Structure 1
């Protein structure tokens, strides 16, 4: 019996020692890894108190909407990732059209977009280059071992060959939208970063000059080099670490350039804010609408595909494009489920929708031509 107790004691000590070592490693990783970004300063918090969306030290959604997952739901979610449904990732690399760096740098033609997969776009309009949510890294996580790799080995163009960027617009600070490696490579060629409140703290931590950062609250407007920019609501959340949930704001964006009116949804669950945005700033020539990485367990913060189509109607979009899909597995649905379902619903609603390939030039005046079901040739 004494021998058994000694063995049990050694086993418990070993287990506790391992747990302690893992805790120390985790703490060091979080505190020393630059990927986690910056912390909110006292000056930031003072400004936040003036925001109607900031309460008890955190930002909140309109009406206080939160992701209502209980412990059992979290277990279901974890189980789903370890026993996923078929076809959650493509069987081979998805097609990517390559872009010539010289042609990009010298472009002076009509307004056009290039989609990089997920929610990343380069907009070229009126001689300006505007990047939206430039996540150009291979894994949406603070470390490659903590996330699944991109569905394609390559991008339309590597960061180093991108032209000078007039504006970078960020919707929130999650890893699949704000990528440390991308910002490090981009920061010296960007004139101004526009972010929701607090997100600039990450940028300054990564060496971006504070003079090159403009933080905005919902419904705030600014004007930069011919671009009228509006920060608009979204129904989501924020955070890059274990203790910073809700410490920074999340948003959608409205861009008005000359006579062109564009909406970028960022990440959002379905809510009345879409109609409010449409009534205030619509109609929109083009709307990039979140559609992917959803689950009924977290429906409050990510739309189902049918809701994406309805939200397109709510914002009064002339044409929508589903985004937040085609690059990473962050949910348990098949990788093609978002585009198939939203396309079907948009057609039922008589809402024009486009589904271009990654890297394909999307000319805003010719959006009726991008309807190829290219994903059917991947699996």
Structure 2
């Protein structure tokens, strides 16, 4: 399925609206200023330092979460970095999103060894960060992005020859891996005048023996089942879970929908992402993982809850499941 445009703007495959009624806006203003002691941790949350060898293992899949939606995927000897937003704040205006919960990162951008590819899901500030890209750009073999996002990277000094832009349904080869740019239900833009001028997407990553799916930011929709039918089953899914609200559930899944989307794509192991780093919604900061784990257990879905910086090896006899956020 290729993306479509209306009035030179990308649009979702199905109708997707946020509740922007007067009543909804008033309720959001009320929630913003009401405050809650549980919207962020009382103290910095723990994270594990990460030391990477020059090259990853030649076989298998390992994934390391950096908080929010940034993660490192090492698959069959290739090192892929997804949505590497390593800034202290997810917004150009620090009032929105505040500071990173962990206060630090498992590995700084400038300390990364060579990376085969940086892969982006869309261009929002909490997923695409200029400073991070500038520090990584000379270590990265390719930048693989949805349509229109390449202009951001070129502006920040990335060699245009390294950048490839993709539409929904595109398949591409990366040194023995097949990547597919697939739909998501979201939006894009970094300012008041560029909304939906670039595309948003999810990603399929398929090797000889392993398959991984990353949802990107997305509301729940029929695209998950379509992706599962075409490309599943997946050994691992990294599914958006967090920064949700009933008023904008069309563009961010509720945690129970996170689990449903995982089953739709025919996933085996689920790792919830898009939580654990910043406050971008009104729910308690631990609600996303608590609700997702509860729903996963109810449906017999295997779920891993690694700490930030903790590497998960797919196919292990045991996965990290400790409720570390309660500590």
TM-score scaled by length of structure 1: 0.83
Q: 1:367 to 1:316 in 2, by over 3 A?
A: farther
Q: Does 1:265 align with 2:215?
A: yes
**Which residue does 2:269 correspond to in 1?**
319
Distance 1:221 1:80, change over 3 A: same
The structure with more radius of gyration: 1
Partner residue, 2:50: 99
Shift of 1:179: 0.8
Residues 272-316 of structure 1: per-residue CA shift (max 9 Å, x gap)? 111111111101000000000000110100010111111111010
Aligned to 2:206: 256
Higher strand share: 2
Q: Distance in 1 between matches of 2:238 and 2:76?
A: 19
**Equivalent in the alignment of 2:254:** 304
Distance in 2 between the 1:145 and 1:73 partners? 21
Structure 2 residue matching 1:105: 3-state secondary structure: coil
Q: Does 1:180 align with 2:161?
A: no
Conserved? CA contact 1:121–1:133, under 8 Å: yes
Residue correspondences, number: 326
Deviation at residue 107 of structure 1 after TM alignment = 3.7
Higher helix share: 1
Q: Would the aligned equivalents of 1:319 and 1:354 in 2 still touch at CA under 8 Å?
A: yes
Aligned position for 2:89: 139
CA contact (8 A) 1:354 1:367 kept: no
Preserved CA contact (<8 Å) 2:81 2:115: yes
Aligned to 2:57: 108
Of 216, 221, 224, 1:274 maps to 224
Structure 2 CA distance for partners of 1:183 and 1:143, relative to 1, 3 Å: farther
For residues 24-69 of structure 1, the C-alpha deviation after alignment (integer angstroms, 9 at most, x for no partner) is xxxxxxxxxxxxxxxxxxxxxxxxxx95421211011112322232
What stretches of structure 1 move > 6 A for 4+ residues in a row?
A: none
Cα distance in 2 for residues equivalent to 1:228 and 1:314? 21
In the alignment, does 2:318 pair up with 1:362? no
* 8 Å contact kept, 2:17–2:248: no
Secondary structure at the counterpart of residue 322 of structure 1: strand
8 Å contact kept, 2:56–2:78:
no
Report the Cα distance in structure 2 between the residues aligned to 1:93 and 1:115, rounded to whole angstroms.
17
Q: Tell whether 2:76 aligns with 1:76.
A: no
Matched with 1:29 is none
CA RMSD across the alignment: 1.5
SS in 2 for 1:285: strand
Partner of 2:103: 153
Please, what TM-score do these two structures have when normalized by structure 2? 0.96
2:3–2:167: 8 Å Cα contact kept in structure 1? Answer: no
User: 1:123 matched to which residue of 2?
Assistant: 73
1:67 is matched with which residue? 18
Q: Deviations over 1:91-136 (max 9, x none)?
A: 0111100112xx4324425421111001011112222211000011
Structure 2: distance between partners of 1:276 and 1:370: 30
Instruction: Summarize the Cα distance change of 1:52–1:169 in structure 2 as closer, same or farther, 3 Å threshold.
Output: closer
In 1, distance between residues paired with 2:19 and 2:223? 19
CA contact (8 A) 1:319 1:367 kept: no
Unpaired runs of 5+ in structure 1? 1-49
Unaligned runs of 5+ in 2: none
